[in-house]
Structure 1
Amino acid sequence: MLECNFFSFLFEDLVTLTDLLVLFTQLIYYSPSCPKMTSSVHLENYSPANMVTEVLRILCDQKECAIECLYNNTVIEALLQPIHNLMKGTKAVPYCSETALIHIADILARIASVEEGLILLLYGENMNSSEGKSLTGADVIAQFSKKLLDEDISIFSGSEMFPVVKGAFTSVCRQIYGTCEGLQVLVPYSLHESIVKAWKKTSLLSERIPTPVEGSDSISSVSQESQNIMAWEENLLDDLLNFAATPKGLLLLQRTGALNECVTFMFSQYAKKLQISRHRKFGYEVLVTQVASTAAGAVALQSSGFINALITELWANLECGRDDVRVTHPRSTPVDPIDRSCQKSFLALVNLLSYPAVYELAGNQGLPNKAEYSLREVPTCIVDIIDRLIILNSEAKIRSLFNYEQSHIFGLR
């Protein structure tokens, strides 16, 4: 009898795929925490929220499945429901925690990283609807992120996870304002101002952290606190830096007064060869090109040491070659457009040297034209590259090059 009633229920009220995904989404913020007696080894296995989040991640990573299943207003509204409640000042749901919000932000970031998902967040399903304009998913996310950054939501204040929640939702916003359309929608919320205020506040906190005294019991706690603050500070700088992905965003970044700090941070990440986030649509090379398109950006790149490092790397590849390659015969005159070992450096320089950058870095500066050049003397700026590789108007310059033909042709190209 029970089986008959169960199957009759299924046939009377069919559950659609969208209904199932909404139920999955609600499990993220409705599922209670695991019992405390559960061992930490098996804790993940007893978390419905983690299991559901992993399923949604898999769907997000499969573009065709995501378009068919996730990219609709019903699922987006289910994801945004606890955010709506928190912004209204009411309790989100009985068990909604910082972890649940981080899971939701992760799914939203994956949706926003794909063009179809981004359009859904920006305009909803009815892009050409003549109905009165209502808040879109992007609007809700931006408002909530701004409240988090400005600490207008007190429910999680004082929590150790609060900075992580902030970072998770600013990461979603980063996916949105990293495009021209998305930035246009988010401009009214002045997120760049909220981010730079949070960064300045965090920077002051990092300066006030006391130096740990050897033998003190507080060394580990101070060290952990310092690491958390530094991680949050770097996260905010990265969020600011990503405004440079568009011309309008770069202008907003310059207005914050934090352009030099952002470029210095970008150079430190580039020097460490750190892997960029999987959600980022582009690498630091694109940001360098955008930043170098303005005079202020070119100066920031120069003062950060980025251009110096780039030229040093180029010189090492061009004049020194790899240490692990045994030279058995002299290099022939190059016939390829660009030597393979120098191709990356060449492209980096070409992308860097826009007209504003060239004027700012080389304008009104004379060439050194020294009487003698040491073989160990390495160029450090654009003017040095012009002097050593392009305008070879003296025997001293020619004799200073190990690979004269290779280097001169590279400079001319």
Structure 2
Amino acid sequence: MCRPSERNSIYFSLFRLLAVSAVLSGILFVIVNTVTGYYIDTYYSNPKYVEQKNKEYIAKLQEHVIAYKLTAKNLKELTTWVKKQKILSIQLYRNKILIYDSDYPNEENLEPENMDTSSFSRKQYYPVTFSDGQVQVHINGMYDYRIYTYSFIIELILTFVVFLMLVLIGIRKKMHYIRQLSDEIGILEGGNLEYEITVTGKDELAALASGLDSMRKSFCEQVKLEANLVQENQKIITEMSHDLRTPLTAIMLYIEIIKKGGYKEERQLIEYLDKIDRIAHRMKQQTDNLFEYSLIAENTELLSETTESYEVVFYDLISETCNYLEQNGFKTELSGGWSNEYIEVNLDCISRIMDNITSNIVKYADTEQSIRISNLFSENMLGISFENHVKAIRENGDSTGIGIQSIKNMMLKMNGTCISEQTDALYKITLMFPCVKA
């Protein structure tokens, strides 16, 4: 399973989602804050609204002065009242002279200062009657302060909600994919191994899904392989039963003739015994082949494999095979060079495979024709093939196919392939191995 790049990882995708959500939320906050500020300024800066609020607070101040019988000199009580309002500042004038400023509450003895008449007339003043006489009050109210504060809090909440929704929408897609994978795994658990796992994206989840699908495919191939092996076993057992029944019948017939003395002379008796001996040896060879096949088929453990170059594995084996065949009257032709690419094999299985191929050639190949041995090279695969002409008349009877099936099983356990092809005159077997890194 390939590890995804950092740019395609879930961590980077989450960081990107958070960054984009933060930027979009920030843009929304700026827009909403600007629009809200514009409408607040437009409404709360209206002169009629300001005049109305000023009169409301002047009325409250007058009620407070009357209730507590304050004079214009009770500065602490005035300061306390202004602080309770939180959004006000006031200035008291008597005879156009500033006598109190709430912005400087600790200045109890303000120096009398005559106000310029034009400056005084530009401000809005409201009369308030204290116990010691009437004064003119100028009031400054930050009436939009509270609404600004409330709107700012609402804007922050709205921005956070939008940010959270964007993040959840982005995560929702991944969560939907995780639930989909969970459902698909449930389908596989139910036994439907043909159902393909959905692979979406290039992150860790996609890599996990790809790994699950690869595992599903491998398991399907394993199930099919086991089914094929069972079918092959049944076929071979059926064929062997037939092949053993025929020679057994012949042996029983010859034994019955011998027991009843149905021979004319001793030479004929020896001939019958020789036939029984040949049939018995052929049956022994068949049972040996069946025993070897059963050992390979039942051995499900992983073979101990060795990584070697193709030339190291096969050079000596092919040389010995050619020498053995030539000693048995065959001519051999070797084609193709030797590769230094590496393959992973079990050396004991390779020796048994070569012995089996050599034995079949000796039994069934025509000595009048050459045995062609070829080294094969293809993309990511290396192999060897043996091609021979088949004898017109077989002295050893028909083949049961057990040896070839044993070769195929051993090749399969080494992750290789074995392909056998036969026509009326030619027989060819090809062994292919996947290339590996040293």
TM-score of the alignment, normalized to the shorter chain, above 0.5: no
Greater share of helix = 1
Q: What range is the shorter-chain TM-score in?
A: under 0.3
Q: TM-score, normalised by structure 2?
A: 0.19
Q: TM-score, normalised by structure 1?
A: 0.19
Larger radius of gyration: 2
Structure number with higher relative contact order (C-alpha < 8 Å, ≥ 6 residues apart): 2
